[in-house]
Structure 1
Amino acid sequence: MSVMGMFQFGYNTTVINAPDGLIKAFFNESHLNRYGTPMPEATIDILWSVAVAITAVGGCIGGLLGAEWANRLGRKRGMFFNTFSGLVAALLMSLSKPAHSYEMLIIGRLVIGFHCGLYTGLVPVYNAEVSPPSIRGSVGTINQLAVTLGLLIAQVLGLQDTLGTAELWPVLLGLAAFAPVVQIIGLSFCPESPRYLLLSMQEEVAAVQSLKDLRCGSDVQAELTEMYKEQQSNSDLDEHKVGVLGLLKDPSLRMPLLVAVVMHLSQQLSGINCIFYYSSALFERIGLSVVDANYASLAVGGIMVVMTIVSIPLMDRAGRRALHLVGLAGMFFSSIVFTVCFNVAVKATEKNRTLEVTSIVFALMIVVFFAIGPGSIPWMIVAELFSQGPRTSAVAVGVVVNWLSNFAVGISFISLLNATGELVFVPFTCFLFVFFVFLWCFLPETKGKTFEEISALFNKH
């Protein structure tokens, strides 16, 4: 049930992609309705970039508040109260067209970003804390599976044959209310995190009962022993809740924090959001019709779902480090081939079907390798790299970095595309190389290890 929050994140990341032309037309119609003159094309492009990227601004705000939200309200109650911001956002977006107000749409995108930002901090922490070490990687990958299902469903519903029409696109955006409604009902059946209850609230009886409920009667003694050991370790170290400044001041936490930040940067500055947000525009640029470009974009969501499912059993077999590095390397080489083919296809004087297909294939290969590792691992591994005291603050830092880089890509991509043309992926290719080298040197393997064992890996250096 907790992963419905990540479904919401995926849905609202890409829901605005397919109806881009319709929403731009709505901007112009609203301006014309108010002032009697059409909106300048440059203004439409600016408003469109803002509507896409402002979700990340809200995500940063939600991410900044995530640690305090999780610590004060708890993981479960934190998710429950967050559902109401999602309902407000859905209402604003769905009513923007009847109200002839593009401001309502943009504010709704800001609020939905805040809503998703809180989820990206709450859900990975909750799932990491309720999962046994043996399957923690697989459970973490289910986070990404929920994201990809949200992406795919948004793309399917955004087609012209479904809700991607001038009359129905507000319904498409308003469906952001679905996940909060499901969570309001479903969270009442979910237990609170036993780690939060024991290590943060010192409620031992409630923690034991929560763990028993989660394991459905299975023996929980080994997990309880590990939790008590972490509690004793925290007590010996006098470890309390650590704020963001505390993370920066503590030398033993700086390297794990740097690794966590680079993990999130390797996800967002890989170029993947250019495909999620602007795949239709990219495919149109190489010669596809609007309809064909939207169907090609649909393949992005389909591949994300399939490859994420494939990666679930691999996460606790191959390990986080191996999968993330393979994913970055594959994205690097696919990005090079895509850039070459995209450049030649756009500049070709005659339509070349082979180049079009090759460009699309390698754009989709970027998605394949992203789904193998970089798509899911940054969200789960940050919660694994830190013990109970600094965990929520570290996750909050990772979430803020993720959303800030998301915003930077979303707001700048159209300008970057206009400035660099067919070489638009070159900066992201360079980033991928830098991230691969850094993480090859400093990213530890966390597969099957307790939180205490992972902390010890950094303390050795």
Structure 2
Amino acid sequence: MGLTFFLCFSIFAAVLGMLQFGYNTGVINAPKKEIENFMKTAWEERNGEAMTENKLENLYSVFVSIFAIGGMLGGFSGGIFANRFGRKGGLLLNNLLGIGGGILLGVTKSTNFYELLILGRFIIGVNCGLSTSLVPMYVSEIAPLNLRGALGTVNQLAVTVGLLVSQVLGIEQLLGTEEHWPLLLGLAVVPPGLQLLLLPMCPESPRYLLLTLSREDEARSALKRFRATTNVEEDVEEMRAEQRAHSQEERISMLQLLRSRSLRMPLLIAVVMQLSQQLSGINAVFYFSSTLFQWAGLDLTSAKFATIGIGAIMVGMTLVSIMLMDRAGRRTLHLYGLGGMFIFSIFITISLLIKQFFAMFQDVLDWVSYLAVIFTLAFVVFFAVGPGSIPWMITAELFSQGPRPAAMSIAVLMNWFCNWLVGTFFLRVKMLLGNYVFLPFSVLLAFFWVFTYNKVPETKNRTFEEIANFFKRNANRAPTEEDRIYGMLNCVNTTGHPGGGGPESSALIEEKLQPPAESCEEEYDYNNL
């Protein structure tokens, strides 16, 4: 199965939510000084006294961190929206938040209320949090099995495009000025506005229609539109196999998910994968790239253009990873990405130390400054190869239809929590550790690499139900009451190799207390699903 026009159109409409996330992640980087001046002026006019630097720093810190707090709330609510309104319906409702938040950001200067700036940023955060939960879920459920990896990477491509657009528009020659920065922030209304126009033309997720609502005719109709063919039996059969499991399971809450032994390992993997994205140090680069480059010795103008270089490289390397995702596999690319980031995080630390020890030699400072930029760009390259896109994708892949919304909510909540941690405390850690500020990230990257190597299975070319059955077999336990929730199914391999290649590779045997997992014809290697 290949790409069709309508599938591409639907994915484009959906990932506008991720473009919104990327745009609002990077948009406050360039106009930082202008926003601080507005806050200071508004405070002084209202209170009749000068605002201290400490108060200004705290207020701006609230402005930055409130975005991630909103993201935590939105991400945590994603599963509720997905179950109650559907993937498409949840995204459509979410656009109202995006438009409302963007309007508040755009009018804050004309009203002279910096509180609107903080409120708008919070609402945009909730909007982006919901998008990071709903968009990967929708894309993974409408994508054909053989293209699920490549199309899942489009989520991250949209994020990187949003970042790049915000960085380009934020330069002083365009909108990063004292007069135009409210327009720069207010442009956050464009992605949700466009999605509100385009998404109604797209069908709901066929999996949601069949497995959650039991509307097979509507699911078939949606599949025919996505695949541009009337022959959709292969997709329907795969969903029916999952439906046989889904018919045995109740809708799983987050509390049930946390208590489930058979779901414990996939949930742990999903959470650690999200941590490997946010605690890798990449958000320190995104949020404070201009500041970092100035620490390395660049002037402010050069630092801002180097920041644009980061955005451009992110877009280019994410395009490369789209081509590699269904060839090399998720696990392999994630290992390469984490390994490269670990190496270059060490090199960034070395370049900062050289700057410190040779501060009296201007010639040395000049080449070390550019070396620090090169190391930072290489760090970003390896992030784009794996950790940038894979955590969003693999979280949706690790779970069947029942637990998927709850799992996405928990994983995305952890992602945003770590986003908030880095955004709030990085500068304080920099003051504490000085030029060694990237070493904690190096240690974490080493841990994430070891975890991925030992615990994360390859999900390339595996159906959702094959992946779910794999974890249930590896739970290696006797049947318990939780099987009523999840559905007791075992896999009988009929193709002679792990996982087969499609729905026909597994005969799913319905519940009647099947034999333990050891009775399956083959034992699978944990790292080669």
Q: TM-score range by the shorter chain?
A: over 0.9
- Listed as ranges, the matches of 1:310-325 within 5 Å are 310-325=320-335
1:342-379: CA deviation from partner (whole Å, max 9, x where unpaired)? 22224522331110011111111110000000000000
Among 249, 252, 257, the alignment partner of 1:242 is 252
Q: Residues of 2 paired with 1:17 and 1:329: CA distance? A: 27
Evaluate the alpha carbon distance shift between residue 358 and residue 218 of structure 1 in structure 2; reply closer, same or farther with a 3 A threshold. Answer: farther
User: Are the equivalent residues in 1 in contact too, given 2:86–2:208 (CA < 8 A)?
Assistant: yes
1:210 is aligned to: 222
Q: Residues of 2 paired with 1:184 and 1:194: CA distance? A: 20
1:307 is aligned to: 317
2:370 is aligned to: 357
From the two aligned structures, give the one with the greater helix fraction: 1
Which amino acid letter does the alignment assign opposite residue 438 of structure 2? F
Which amino acid letter does the alignment assign opposite residue 10 of structure 1? G
1:336 is aligned to: 346
Once the 2 structures are TM-superposed, how far is the Cα of residue 48 of structure 1 from its aligned partner? 1.7
2:506 is aligned to: none
Q: Residues of 2 paired with 1:53 and 1:14: CA distance? A: 13
2:306 is aligned to: 296
Among 40, 52, 56, the alignment partner of 2:52 is 40
- Name the SS of the counterpart of 1:252 in structure 2: coil
1:220 is aligned to: 232
1:366 aligns with 2:379: yes
Structure 1 segments (4+ residues) deviating >4 Å: none
Among 440, 443, 446, the alignment partner of 2:453 is 440
RMSD: 1.0
1:180 is aligned to: 192
1:29 is aligned to: 41
Q: Residues of 1 paired with 2:322 and 2:462: CA distance? A: 17
Once the 2 structures are TM-superposed, how far is the Cα of residue 456 of structure 1 from its aligned partner? 2.4
Which amino acid letter does the alignment assign opposite residue 447 of structure 1? K
2:134 is aligned to: 122
1:156 aligns with 2:168: yes
Q: Residues of 2 paired with 1:341 and 1:54: CA distance? A: 32
Which amino acid letter does the alignment assign opposite residue 40 of structure 2? N
- Name the SS of the counterpart of 2:429 in structure 1: helix
Once the 2 structures are TM-superposed, how far is the Cα of residue 33 of structure 1 from its aligned partner? 1.3
- Name the SS of the counterpart of 1:78 in structure 2: helix
1:200 aligns with 2:212: yes
Once the 2 structures are TM-superposed, how far is the Cα of residue 233 of structure 1 from its aligned partner? 2.2
TM-score (norm 2): 0.86
Greater mean alpha carbon deviation, residues 437-446 or residues 212-221: 212-221
Among 164, 168, 190, the alignment partner of 2:202 is 190
Which amino acid letter does the alignment assign opposite residue 83 of structure 1? N
User: Are the equivalent residues in 2 in contact too, given 1:27–1:39 (CA < 8 A)?
Assistant: no
Which amino acid letter does the alignment assign opposite residue 81 of structure 1? L
User: Are the equivalent residues in 2 in contact too, given 1:3–1:142 (CA < 8 A)?
Assistant: yes
Once the 2 structures are TM-superposed, how far is the Cα of residue 99 of structure 1 from its aligned partner? 1.5
Once the 2 structures are TM-superposed, how far is the Cα of residue 43 of structure 1 from its aligned partner? 1.5
1:263-310: CA deviation from partner (whole Å, max 9, x where unpaired)? 000000000000000000111122211111100101110000000001
1:81-111: CA deviation from partner (whole Å, max 9, x where unpaired)? 1101011111111111112222111111111
2:499 is aligned to: none
Among 280, 283, 292, the alignment partner of 1:270 is 280
Structure 1: tracts of 5 or more residues without a match: none
- State the structure with bigger RCO (CA 8 A, min sep 6), 1 or 2: 1
Which amino acid letter does the alignment assign opposite residue 136 of structure 2? P
User: Are the equivalent residues in 2 in contact too, given 1:125–1:383 (CA < 8 A)?
Assistant: yes
Q: Residues of 1 paired with 2:410 and 2:356: CA distance? A: 40
Is the radius of gyration larger for structure 1 or structure 2?
2
- Name the SS of the counterpart of 1:163 in structure 2: coil
Which amino acid letter does the alignment assign opposite residue 64 of structure 1? F
1:137 is aligned to: 149
Which amino acid letter does the alignment assign opposite residue 244 of structure 1? M
Once the 2 structures are TM-superposed, how far is the Cα of residue 218 of structure 1 from its aligned partner? 5.4
